[in-house]
Amino acid sequence: MSAGSESDASKLGAEEALPRRFGKYTLLRRMATGGMAEIFLALQRSVAGFEKLIVIKRILPAMNQDRGFIDMLLHEARVAATLSHPNIVQTIDVGQVDGTYFIALEHVHGEDLRSIVRQMKKKAVTEFPLEHALAVILGMCAGLSYAHERRDLDGTPLNIVHRDVSPQNVIVGFAGDVKVVDFGVAKSGTQSAEETKSGQLKGKIPYMSPEQARGEEVDHRSDIFALGVMLFELTTGRRLFKGANDLETLKLIVDRDYPRPSWVAGGYPLALESIVMRALEKDVQKRYQSAREMQADLEAFVRDEKLPVSSIALAEFMKLLFEEKLAAQKEALMQGRQLADIIATEIQHGERTETGIDALRQSNTVTGASGAVALGSTPPPRASGKLALIAVPLGLLAVGGALFLALRSKPEPAAATASQAAVEASATKAKATLVVESDPSGAHIWLNGEMRAEVTPAKFEDLPVGTIDVKVGQDGYESLLDKVTLSEREVTKRNFTLKKGVVTYELSGYPANATAQLDNKPAKLPKIEAAPGEPHVLSLVASGYELKVLKLATAPVGESMKLDGTMKKTSAAEPNAATTAATTAAGGTGKIIVIAGGGGWCNASVDGRSLGPTPTGAVDVSAGPHSVSCTDANGARQSQGASVKAGDTTRVRFTIAN
């Protein structure tokens, strides 16, 4: 048994005093405890003064004999160990100390998204800056794309699916880095059928894809749906799926139509809305087929809108939000290291004076923004719900912010009294009741931009007194919005009469081989029907012509508008009508590869969707005509048409001069 280790594994539990040695590591502070594992901030030391903060996930003694759980833990380590990417937390080590299994992971000095949003509320920051929201999602896209495409040494796809993409599992570092964490419920192609069988809900319900919510088998496109949910929420400031209970939330995901971001956030960019809604497609075939594809569209949006997306700016935003926590955390870590130094010295001299160390633990307290906390104290175990699943999420274990959550100071009595008074005052605040009805019934309801699980007629109790935005809408009907004033102890009723009908857009002047998409969904020319009261994006694609995109403003029910569909020709020859008709009729999908010759390079796009710099990889597209464009470093743009046959790969070449 190594020096400094406990001789009795049963002593490893909630009652142990910290810091203490754990094999070659020193456990500094317990960060979180779940029903099956616990998370520690730890110190790794080696020769020549090498010193590094890491995170240890250690199985609880009660679970140490559970072979199934240990197998799961080791699978988690195997999956995570294959991943080495700047946007994914790195697994450092896996092993046993005194028969207790553990995983060692990279320590990220930062906060998870859930904590960031909470801190924003405390600081009265009402909106998540768009450029920072996009920086976070772009980082997640990059990390997940890497994981999804990962192969083993033989070149066999690992088919890794995270299955729990959510705010708790993305960390924003104080250096502006973005990390995806917690592959603890990840699925990979190396698992047994028993480990991956469908019918088991794994992950957090509000971020589940429809297929995941139904308990069906999922692939990487389920993670893309979760990215869409997070992008919606970060850019609108509203929850997308929030029912009265888990069952109602599942129904919202599986059965209901999803609101558009522009419904809940005025002035929402239509190009960004198009990306969000494609990521949120219920049909996995219509959804983004890869995280890389979604990342490319977001990068194109950032370029087009000239948004200042920057890791440096994101780092400054984080430091401003958490300046008080950073100061307290620095002091806590310094005092934790002092104890670790004493332990290391005693081990070096073969001594172990627990009395002296315990006295120092008790005397060493950390004063933070709200008070003090003893480093040796232990937080109460965290309750684990059904969907917490097998273990404490790795999302907590790699987070410097989670460290502060464990180290943060207890409120002083005066602060506690004030907090209690605020809670009591909130409990006695005046409440109101609202009844929402519609003709016809069964319409969706939004209260202050938040889509509710209920449909009309519905009754809402315990609402705050004051003015509230009430919106109702239903497919095939015009959406209506009203400001309603609620009074104390009164039942306020609102009845909405919905007008049935659509808005009609009639196009002329377009090429004979043109096809149309309305909000990224196929539309039939020349007359296109759309939902009234909402903005839309109409795209025209024709081989031999440049892509045409029309941004359509909101229009009332019954409105008929004429649009010019004239498209600009490219230099490429248009395929003959027979070829185009045969390809379109065949259906299916093919691939496009864009290449640049002449010694230069360009940023490629297909049908307005960015593919990044040339040469591109093979990109899946529907069979039929497409518009391909390339923009060189000087901003010069070339376009040409391409006809893709089902099952074939079409190569499109541009000549770019140096």
- pLDDT tens per residue, range 622-646: 888 787 888 876 767 787 778 788 8
What per-residue confidence (pLDDT) applies to 242? 87
pTM reported for the whole predicted model: 0.59
Enumerate residues 6+ apart whose C-beta is below 8 A from 609.
293, 296, 297, 300
Q: Which fold has domain 577-655?
A: Immunoglobulin-like (2.60.40)
User: Is 164 among the catalytic positions?
Assistant: yes
DSSP character at residue 496: E
What per-residue confidence (pLDDT) applies to 448? 81
What per-residue confidence (pLDDT) applies to 370? 30
What per-residue confidence (pLDDT) applies to 143? 95
Specify the 3-state DSSP secondary structure of 276: helix
Q: Is the pLDDT of residue 4 over 60?
A: no
Please give the full DSSP string across 539-580, using - where no structure is assigned.
EEE-TTB--EEEEEPP--TT-EEEEE----B-SSPPPPHHHH
658 pLDDT tier (thresholds 50, 70, 90) = low
Instruction: Characterize the bridge pairing of strands 491-497 and 431-439.
Output: parallel
Handedness of CA 347, 349, 354, 357 (dihedral sign): negative
- Within 354-462, residue ranges assigned H as helices are 354-363, 394-397, 400-407, 413-427
- Where is pLDDT greater, at 594 or 312? 312
**Percent of the chain with pLDDT strictly greater than 70:** 73
Cα separation, 297 vs 610, in Å, equals 5
CATH numeric code, 9-107+322-411:
3.30.200.20
What per-residue confidence (pLDDT) applies to 226? 97
What per-residue confidence (pLDDT) applies to 576? 41
Q: Is the pLDDT of residue 479 over 60?
A: yes
- Where is pLDDT greater, at 87 or 604? 87
Q: What is the pLDDT of residues 514-530, one digit of tens each?
A: 888 776 566 788 888 88
Average pLDDT rounded to a whole number, residues 198-224: 82
Domain ranges of the chain: 9-107+322-411, 129-310, 429-492, 503-564, 577-655
Please give the full DSSP string across 434-480, using - where no structure is assigned.
EEEEEESS--EEEETTEEEEEESSEEEEEEESEEEEEEEE-TTB--E
Tokens of 376: 């040796």
Name the least confident of 8-22, 181-195, 306-320, 558-572. 181-195
Q: What is the pLDDT of residues 266-325, one digit of tens each?
A: 788 888 999 999 999 999 999 999 999 999 999 999 999 899 999 999 999 999 999 888
What per-residue confidence (pLDDT) applies to 180? 93
Q: What is the pLDDT of residues 26-61, one digit of tens each?
A: 888 888 777 777 888 898 887 666 788 899 988 888
Cα separation, 105 vs 399, in Å, equals 10
Q: Is the pLDDT of residue 427 over 60?
A: no
Specify the 3-state DSSP secondary structure of 380: coil
- Where is pLDDT greater, at 4 or 537? 537
Cα separation, 543 vs 239, in Å, equals 41
Determine which one of 98, 152, 164, 257 is catalytic. 164
**Percent of the chain with pLDDT strictly greater than 90:** 25
C-alpha neighbours within 13 Å on the C-beta side of residue 218: 31
Name the least confident of 155-164, 223-232, 419-428, 581-590. 419-428
Specify the 3-state DSSP secondary structure of 253: helix
Q: Which fold has domain 129-310?
A: Transferase(Phosphotransferase); domain 1 (1.10.510)
Specify the 3-state DSSP secondary structure of 583: helix
Specify the 3-state DSSP secondary structure of 593: strand
What per-residue confidence (pLDDT) applies to 188? 55
Cα separation, 83 vs 72, in Å, equals 17
Cα–Cα distances in angstroms (integers) from residue 635 to residues 194, 330, 626, 631, 656, in the given order: 53, 47, 22, 6, 12
Q: Is the pLDDT of residue 183 over 80?
A: no
In contact, 364 and 375? CB cutoff 8 Å? yes
Q: Smallest Cα–Cα separation from 492: which of 479, 501, 504, 483?
A: 483
Cα separation, 172 vs 194, in Å, equals 35
Cα separation, 450 vs 244, in Å, equals 13
Give the chain's mean pLDDT. 76
Q: Phi/psi class of residue 489: alpha, beta or left (left: φ > 0; alpha: ψ in -120 to 50)?
A: left
Cα separation, 109 vs 318, in Å, equals 11
- Within 576-629, residue ranges assigned H as helices are 577-586
Q: Is the pLDDT of residue 335 over 80?
A: no
What per-residue confidence (pLDDT) applies to 369? 32
367 pLDDT tier (thresholds 50, 70, 90) = very low
Name the least confident of 502-506, 573-577, 624-628. 573-577
Q: Is the pLDDT of residue 391 over 90?
A: no
